């Protein structure tokens, strides 16, 4: 069974019971999956173009890169969300374009997936190693957890006075819906090849041994995060550990603790990138991915019209949003 097995089996069982217990209940129409399939098909046809922000030398250019929204796979910029595939495509293009002499990285995110954050950082390191170009990060409203993870190796990090950063750590969320199943008289039996095979199942309350195993995984991921911050910011690891208890920091606090280099608005940080690296005459540009936003906004509207409102459907939506759980996240607040 695929990764949706817990959700599919559990919700299907609960829906089955409710359908018999409450005759007026009608199962949800599968319009959502149909619309999603249509979106996925069309999104794969998106083309990447360039948008010049500031005119300048076309042979000496600065890429303005935006990381806005929660870091994770499967999203799309068409509905205003974060598009991970597009982010990686942009970073890959830097390696193949000799005219790009610097990256201006705008970050506004609470963080997100451990794997996706690592993918971004891996490409940033590759760019630094192979091209040795400056990468300046400008934090906007928030650059927390995974947002800091992908920023730590930058040449310089800027934040505005109002920026929130930090939240250095790992979080993982699991569901325990045994009480809900009991409420509707549903029981679930897992047949496994080992006593830990069903670890993380929402249909069983976790044992102390399961909690211990999962905590070990979290600790290992956390240690990796701490090491990245220590190396990227040249801060002793023991100092980073005192800072990395998951708390968020204001720009002033981050500056005092060596987590950022300067407090400034984007105009100042971009100017510094130019003047400190001989890029005063550089062209500033960004990439754009054509995803047919206007058309798909209509699909989203149509989808909202067919969705039903009930406690059970809301539960299903919550579980759908966490269908990849349990998994470690570099995410502020776990939202």
The catalytic residues are 145, 197
Q: Which whole-number Å values give the CA distances from 145 to 155, 255, 284, in the listed order?
A: 19, 16, 28
- Cis peptide, bond prior to residue 326, ω within 30 of zero: yes
Distance in angstroms (rounded) separating the CA atoms of residues 153 and 278: 21
Q: 268 with 274: CB under 8 angstroms?
A: no
Q: Where are the beta strands (DSSP E) in the chain?
A: 47-54, 57-68, 100-109, 111-113, 135-144, 156-159, 164-166, 248-250, 262-263, 282-290, 329-331
> How far is Cα of residue 159 from the mean position of the Cα atoms in its chain?
20
The residues facing 75 across adjacent strands are: none
What is residue 44's three-state secondary structure?
A: coil
């Amino acid at each position: 069974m695929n990764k949706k097995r817990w959700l599919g089996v559990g919700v299907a069982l609960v829906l089955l019971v409710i359908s018999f217990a409450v005759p007026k209940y009608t199962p949800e129409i599968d319009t959502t999956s149909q619309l999603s399939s249509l979106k996925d098909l069309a999104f794969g046809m998106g083309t990447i173009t360039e948008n010049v922000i500031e005119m300048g030398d076309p042979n000496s250019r600065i890429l303005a890169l935006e990381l806005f929204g929660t870091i994770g796979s499967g999203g799309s910029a068409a509905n205003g969300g974060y598009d991970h595939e597009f982010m990686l495509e942009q970073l890959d293009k830097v390696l193949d374009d000799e005219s790009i002499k610097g990256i201006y990285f705008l970050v506004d995110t609470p963080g997100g997936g451990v794997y996706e954050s690592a993918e971004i950082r891996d490409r940033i390191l590759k760019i630094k190693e192979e091209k040795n170009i400056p990468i300046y990060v400008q934090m906007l409203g928030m650059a927390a957890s995974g947002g800091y993870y992908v920023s730590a190796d930058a040449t310089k990090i800027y934040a505005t006075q109002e920026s929130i950063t930090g939240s250095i750590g790992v979080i993982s969320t699991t569901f325990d819906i045994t009480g809900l199943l009991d409420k509707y008289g549903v029981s679930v039996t897992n047949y496994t090849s080992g006593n830990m095979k069903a670890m993380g199942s929402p249909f069983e309350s976790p044992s102390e041994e399961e909690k211990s195993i999962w905590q070990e995984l979290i600790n290992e991921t956390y240690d990796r995060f701490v090491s990245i911050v220590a190396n990227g910011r040249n801060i002793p690891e023991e100092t980073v550990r005192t800072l990395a208890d998951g708390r968020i920091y204001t720009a002033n606090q981050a500056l005092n603790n060596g987590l950022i280099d300067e407090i400034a608005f984007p105009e100042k940080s971009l100017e510094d990138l130019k003047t400190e690296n001989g890029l005063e005459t550089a062209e500033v540009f960004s990439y754009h991915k054509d995803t047919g936003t206007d058309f798909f906004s209509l699909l989203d509207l149509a989808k909202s019209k067919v969705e039903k409102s009930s406690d059970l459907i809301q539960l299903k939506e919550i579980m759908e949003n966490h269908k990849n759980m349990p998994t470690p996240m570099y995410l502020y607040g776990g939202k």
